[in-house]
Amino acid sequence: MRLIRPTSGRPQPALRWLIAPLLLFVAPSLAFAQQDQDNQAVIRFVSNPDPAPDFKLTALDGKPITLAALQGKVVLLNFWATWCGPCRAEIPDLVALQERYDGRLQIIGLNVDDEEADIEQYIKETKINYPVAMTSNEVRRQFGGIPALPTSFVLDTEGRVVQKHVGLWNPAVYETEIRALLGMPIMAKVETFEDKGEVFLAHADRATELPGVDLSKLTPEQKKLVLHRFNADTCTCGCKFTLAQCRIWDSGCAVSKAATEKIVAEVSAAPTAPSDSTQPAPAAPAPAKTPSTPAPPQLGKQK
């Protein structure tokens, strides 16, 4: 999947037509994101959600937009652009959701790459009934990078990010999540998961598996060492993310893939100290110090 690079600016025409059709297949076409063993629909929320980074933007109608002013409502932050086919495809559903749950739900359209006049014309044509604002790279960085369009963040009534959806999703998923967060009846089971970088890349250091990285042949100690390196080393593709973050953000990145494969090979080939069974064990060995895994460096510019 082709992704939006952090410093590329306005996408080139060739990139635009590649992104739009490919994202049509990002999300499942089933009615819900998942189903359990009993074929019951399942929605998933982050078990310990982070507060959404607040921002101060001005909507195209001149009104201010802040998340702090929306406490008590479910919020759907939708990053989009008019040239993005899947973005255009989901707007009628977003308009319907805003109308159906008006007063309890607030959708905000955050446009990442259009001229203001073009957006205003598009709003008139599609009758968008929720605020739309031009967003900045800073806002995109605050939300951990926007890998592709559309990308939507779901916030609960306390302003915490409980889910992130990349690509075109069935509106039934959004509506079920909204109803669940509002305490309304739903025909689905709610499960929780720990964010290991799927929502915020800053939590990539929690991940024990990464896209496109084979750790199956490593011992537990080797795996611990490899993951430490992945979170300590910075990818050189230009993203300024750690290797772990880059693998999650862009699983197609050849640079981070080669770097992680090299680290796995180095750790696998490293000789281990042979144990000498003839030597008596120390009477009172000192407890070994467990090396701490440093937090990943501060995210730079997004891709």
Q: Would you give the DSSP letter of residue 68? A: G
The domain spans of the chain are 13-193, 202-269
Residues 6 or more apart whose Cβ sits within 8 Å of residue 275: none
- DSSP output for 136-186: -HHHHHHTT---SSSEEEEE-TTSEEEEEEES---HHHHHHHHHHHTT---
Average pLDDT for 274-289:
46
Alpha carbon 227 to its chain's center: 20
Q: Encoding tokens for residue 22? A: 């490919």
Q: What is the mean pLDDT of the chain?
A: 82
pLDDT value at 293 more than 50: no
E strands, the chain, in order: 34-35, 41-46, 50-51, 56-58, 64-66, 74-80, 105-111, 132-134, 151-155, 160-166, 189-193
Please count the CA atoms within 13 angstroms of the CA of 267 that sit on its side-chain side: 22
Higher pLDDT, 17 or 131: 131
Quickly state the pLDDT bin for 39 (edges 50, 70, 90): confident
Percent of the chain with pLDDT over 90: 68
Q: What is the pLDDT of residue 147?
A: 77
Higher pLDDT, 136 or 94: 94
Average pLDDT for 96-117:
95
* Lowest-confidence region among 77-91, 133-147, 231-245, 283-297: 283-297
Percent of the chain with pLDDT over 70: 77
Domain 13-193 bears CATH identifier 2.30.30.110: no
Whether a cis peptide bond, with omega within 30° of 0, leads into 150 is: yes
Q: Encoding tokens for residue 115? A: 């001229």
204: buried, middle or exposed (CB in 10 Å: 19+, 13-18, 0-12)? buried
